[in-house]
Amino acid sequence: MSFDRSYARQLDENDELKDFRNEFYIDEEKIYFDGNSLGLLSKRAEASVISLLDSWKNHAIDGWTEGEHPWFYLSEKLGQFTAPLIGAKPEETIITGSTTINLHQLAASFYRPDGKRTKILADELNFPSDIYALKSQIKLHGLDPEEHLVQVKSRNGNTLETSDIIEAMTEDIALIVLPGVLYRSGQILDMEALAKEAQKRGIPIGFDLCHSIGSVPHQLSDWGADFAFWCTYKHLNGGPGSVAGLYVNEKHFGKEPGLAGWFSSSKEKQFDMEHTLSPAEDAGAYQIGTPHVLSAAPLLGSLEMLSEAGIERIRGKSLRLTDYLMQLIENRLKGHGFTIANSREENERGGHVFLEHPQAAAICKALKAKGVVPDFRTPNGIRLAPVALYNTFEEVWKTVDLLRTIMDDKDYEQYDNERGVIA
């Protein structure tokens, strides 16, 4: 491998996904490596929003059943578009709610403490929101989270061992909720192995796919996962606060959801206005409220693009980008105190590279001042996410080149080493 800029340009020239970059609104004065926090706006997503605004303008109340994308069926339609990204059947997937609302719904539906099975198994590296929700659910059953939430420990502070998680699947566990990809280190958990081990023990298991959907292929149905949930504003490029999604394995169809609402209803029965719920016979039963049509609208364009690109091709380029980034870091940043804290193994590495450095917050500020948008994670982490649909290999090269200049010239010393209000 060559480490000069011309090699990066050659990689870009041979990139089969390069034309998708033209679909996005990109500030050519900046390098955006934070798509694992918020994906960029695409022209198709923008057009989808305008299209649904027009349906409101032109159809008013009849937009629920008329127009190109009738609102009454929008959540199911978007679920069908999403299903191939997670290896699910169309009827097992629905776009609804937010990440945490969907976790509350799924925990309320699958957490049934009974006898000695009273505990929820999670991990100590998960995103805080998931832990807050699980503790709330435990309290709703009159139990103490300090006793009934089991969090698998990390051996190194960044990753989890599959064997440690399986060992924690004891007879007192009533539910398992784990991330598909750890948000800091980018480690991909072995979801297939974990799902199969949970099945052996009769424990329902679900996965938070926020950092994996749209960047990593899944086969949830084949693996036998009971449920999953995710946001859509990272690798799915749905926009800030865009409507989230959930998956429920078809083996659970026909059951009433833990948290019922009007849109939990069967479509045919919903407007009968009965006070006894007739739940939908698919993942739609796990909806609660009215679809957020305008917040779901960008996904019509975004998911269309992901379908055209194909999740396998996206994953292939993502791996090449992160591998190139790590090789450049090791070659050009020697002696500057950086540690690559994510896995080097492709089957364990998600869509970003995770660096650790004692001056991480200050370095992130220096990068941003030079036009690179990274992501800081407490206490000493830098996440760099080159996204397959819109980032380039030359941007990877330029970022490492700028990072080397920052370290050689000690530019970071002019910034305090504390995170901002939002990091």
Q: What is the pLDDT of residues 145-183, one digit of tens each?
A: 999 999 999 999 999 999 999 999 999 999 999 999 999
- Is 90 exceeded by the pLDDT of residue 423? no
Which of the residues 44, 286, 383, 411 is marked catalytic? 383
How far apart CA 284 and CA 15 sit, in angstroms, is 38
Q: Is 408 a catalytic residue?
A: no
Give domain status of residue 38, yes or no. no
Look at residues 161, 164, 220 and name the one whose alpha carbon lies nearest to residue 348. Answer: 161
289 and 319 assigned to the same domain: no
Which of the residues 44, 234, 315, 317 is marked catalytic? 234
322 and 297 assigned to the same domain: no
**How many domains does one find in the chain?**
2
Q: Is 233 a catalytic residue?
A: yes
User: pLDDT-derived band of residue 1, with 50, 70 and 90 as boundaries?
Assistant: confident
- Is 90 exceeded by the pLDDT of residue 421? no
User: pLDDT-derived band of residue 47, with 50, 70 and 90 as boundaries?
Assistant: very high
Q: Residue 419's pLDDT is what?
A: 86
Look at residues 320, 316, 319, 317 and name the one whose alpha carbon lies nearest to residue 1. Answer: 320
Q: Residue 83's pLDDT is what?
A: 98
Give domain status of residue 419, yes or no. no
Give domain status of residue 299, yes or no. yes
280 and 155 assigned to the same domain: yes
Residues marked as binding?
99-100, 127-130, 208, 211, 233, 262, 290
Indicate the residue among 285, 308, 331 that finishes a domain.
Answer: 308
- Cα Rg for the chain, rounded, in angstroms? 22
* pTM assigned to the model: 0.96
Half-sphere exposure of 79 (CA within 13 A, CB side): 27
Q: Is 234 a catalytic residue?
A: yes
User: pLDDT-derived band of residue 37, with 50, 70 and 90 as boundaries?
Assistant: very high
17 and 79 assigned to the same domain: no
User: pLDDT-derived band of residue 322, with 50, 70 and 90 as boundaries?
Assistant: very high
* Cis geometry, peptide bond prior to residue 379 (ω within 30 degrees of 0): yes
Q: Is 81 a catalytic residue?
A: no
Across all residues in the chain, what is the average pLDDT? 97
Instruction: Determine the average pLDDT of the residues in 330-336.
Output: 96
Parallel/antiparallel/unpaired status of strands 93-95 and 149-152: unpaired
Which of the residues 34, 123, 190, 208 is marked catalytic? 208
Q: Residue 51's pLDDT is what?
A: 98
Indicate the residue among 279, 308, 337 that finishes a domain.
Answer: 308
Residue 369 structural domain:
5-32+310-414
Which of the residues 72, 73, 127, 253 is marked catalytic? 127
Structure tokens at 360: 């991480």
271-308 burial: b if 16+ Cβ within 10 Å, else e? eeeeeebebbebbbbbbbeebbbebbbbbbbbbebbee
Q: Is the Cβ–Cβ distance between 349 and 186 less than 8 Å? A: yes
Indicate the residue among 273, 308, 343 that finishes a domain.
Answer: 308
77 and 189 assigned to the same domain: yes
Residues marked as binding for pyridoxal 5'-phosphate?
99-100, 127-130, 208, 211, 233, 262, 290
- Is 90 exceeded by the pLDDT of residue 420? no
Parallel/antiparallel/unpaired status of strands 149-152 and 119-123: parallel
210 and 284 assigned to the same domain: yes
262 and 319 assigned to the same domain: no
24 and 135 assigned to the same domain: no
Q: Is 315 a catalytic residue?
A: no
298 and 314 assigned to the same domain: no
Give domain status of residue 300, yes or no. yes
